[in-house]
A and B are shown apart, each in its own frame.
Chain A
């Protein structure tokens, strides 16, 4: 079963099978090209079409209604080689035809890259590239074949090229693929090749090319002076055009390489354990974290993690692919991109956006509810003293912290435990005792989770005699997720008792009862009815 097409030829309607139609239209194109630029071309074409119609008409009747490839071949046999048409008119010998719009594409010797449907293993990519560089396809195939085993990226590259490079469908495209001029002899050759075994013909190819070159050279000698000057102008124009094209191609290649590297980096960072976040620690070390370790640290697992990864990958990856395709096409001189590719790229990107937003929403739910717990410690000073000596080591001396972002109050210890600076409030005690209250906050999916997360805050302080030793950091217990835990220590000081503040404590003081001085650190303070006042009394 074959599809038929209705055509009108010389004013008569024919049903013609698809392959026969392709052949006939190739043939007519070949004839038309052979007469390109000659006077009365369209008129001759009309005459020829009328004659072909006349020849085909007796071949159809009520019982046989369809033109097949056999009839077309017969007619072509009667009408003769497209070459015959060319030699009849001296005009047709002109090298630069007037019709430039079509000719610009078919500059002689100019190659465009196509996939070769006649010589393919998978998609004809390798043989197309081989034609482009004028080498045997076996080398390209070998290269691809070997690199398939060495790494996955050549597979990616092959698929990319399969999408970018169009298939050579018409005779003219096959000629462009081989870098032959789209002239009549070559089109004829292609049509003949379609009937014969292509691979056998390919061997004679080199010889044909030589013949063609000598022929075009002798034609060059016949040119008159006017032609010489016009070709000179054409040559200079061509040179400038060539340089511009070269620069554009060069920039295009650079861009494709850059975008490809970005894409590879994206794949590697999301789907392999490659380290992507590098943080310089305060002592000059570089700490590296992969995306996966970041997810682990933030305790985002399962569905949300998958959604975020996939969404992020599509959201960034698809535009990169689109850019690579765009510039890849530009380099290879492939003009239009199939509509379905652009459409599907857009849909995939949009799906990625939705997935990313969904994943972000699910992940954000872990931080939706605030939770709070309180621990309280009460202690009394020894009888001989009424001053509490507060002590806190300088946080800069803590060797244990590997990641430290002071502005975000975000720290990670060497054993991957999260830390933070507590804040400290000074208030008046309701009774005669010192109290130290720890307010812990965290977030979670629900109140219970938030409370659990808050409870995971560990803070160490020790009281000995009249001194209270505070740690500069609180820490989230091992295994607990990071849920924006915060710790506020409230130190309650009874009236008429004093506190000795260490230097460097000011950065954690959040709010306090009224005091005259801006800085508390390095001074001794007495709790009075009016709040903290500087205590000048010498104390043992």
Chain B
């Protein structure tokens, strides 16, 4: 249970970054984003996504437009705003730095060396 919790916390920290990455390639509606993230084993349940999308939208990183769907009601397609693109570039840089630092620490203090 404890390890699951920690894992979930770690994933959550990078979810926003991943959403922005997925959307930088093409506009998508929530189910597509979920699909992509599920394939990457990033999310287990879908519920997590909606509040994140809403927050990114409220912060101005994302916008959306309604598009007709062939099956069922119209869908909400999310896309990056110019501000979102800039934000994502910044995140890319700091993500790289973070991965390097974390890897370094993880290697240096891994259980094997103790």
Contact = CB atoms under 8 A, between A and B. Distances in A.
Interface string A69-95: 000000001111110111111111000
A527 B9 CA distance: 123
25 contacts: A12-B73, A31-B47, A39-B54, A39-B58, A40-B54, A40-B58, A44-B54, A47-B50, A53-B72, A54-B72, A78-B45, A78-B46, A80-B46, A80-B48, A81-B47, A84-B45, A84-B47, A85-B47, A85-B48, A85-B50, A87-B48, A87-B51, A88-B48, A88-B55, A89-B54
B94 to A, nearest CB: 19
Contacts of B31: 51, 54
Interface of B is mostly: helix
A47 B30 contact: yes
Interface string A412-435: 000000000000000000000000
A345 interface: no
A35 B51 contact: yes
A504 interface: no
Query: 3 closest Cβ contacts across the A-B interface?
Result: A80-B45, A88-B51, A80-B47
Interface in B1-45: 12, 30-31, 44-45
Interface string B54-93: 1101100000000000001100100000000000000000
Contacts of B76: 47, 50
Given A88-B12, A89-B51, 8 more contacts: A12-B72, A47-B30, A48-B50, A80-B46, A85-B47, A87-B12, A87-B48, A87-B51
Interface of A: 10-12, 31, 35, 38-40, 43-44, 47-48, 50-51, 53-54, 57, 77-82, 84-92
Contacts of B102: none
Interface centre among A40, A57, A84, A87 (most CB of B within 10 A): A84
Given A12-B73, A50-B73, A43 B46 contact: no
A12 B69 CA distance: 14
B37 to A, nearest CB: 13
A34 to B, nearest CB: 9
A50 B55 CA distance: 18
B51 A79 contact: no
A90 B51 CA distance: 10
Contacts, number: 75
Interface of B: 12, 30-31, 44-55, 57-58, 72-73, 76
A40 B58 CA distance: 8
A325 to B, nearest CB: 43
B51 A38 contact: yes
Nearest to B75: A50
A428 B36 CA distance: 128
Contacts of A10: 73
A53 B47 CA distance: 14
A39 B49 CA distance: 15
B53 to A, nearest CB: 7
Nearest to B49: A88
A46 to B, nearest CB: 9
Contact of B51 (A51, A54, A77, A85): A85
Nearest to B16: A88
B22 to A, nearest CB: 16
A84 B55 contact: no
Contacts of A86: 51
A147 B33 CA distance: 64
Contacts of A90: 55
Contacts of A79: 45-47
A50 B29 CA distance: 12
Q: Which of B44, B50, B58, B72 has the most CB of A within 10 A?
A: B50
Given A40-B57, A88-B52, A48 B72 contact: no
Given A57-B72, A89-B55, A44 B50 contact: yes
Contacts of B52: 88-89
Contacts of A81: 45, 47
A48 B46 CA distance: 9
Contacts of A39: 54, 58
Nearest to A77: B45
Nearest to A79: B47
Nearest to A40: B54
Contacts of A82: 47
A49 to B, nearest CB: 10
A48 B48 CA distance: 10
B69 to A, nearest CB: 10
Nearest to B48: A84
A442 to B, nearest CB: 89
Nearest to A10: B73
Contacts of A48: 47, 50
A40 B57 CA distance: 10
Contacts of B73: 10-12, 50, 53
B38 to A, nearest CB: 10
A127 to B, nearest CB: 29
Which of A11, A51, A82 gathers the greatest number of chain B CB atoms within 10 Å? A51
Contacts of A57: 72
Contacts of A84: 45, 47-48
A90 B12 CA distance: 12
B70 to A, nearest CB: 13
Nearest to A50: B73
A88 B73 CA distance: 26
Contacts of A47: 30, 50, 53-54, 76
Contacts of A12: 72-73
A221 B44 CA distance: 31
A86 B50 CA distance: 10
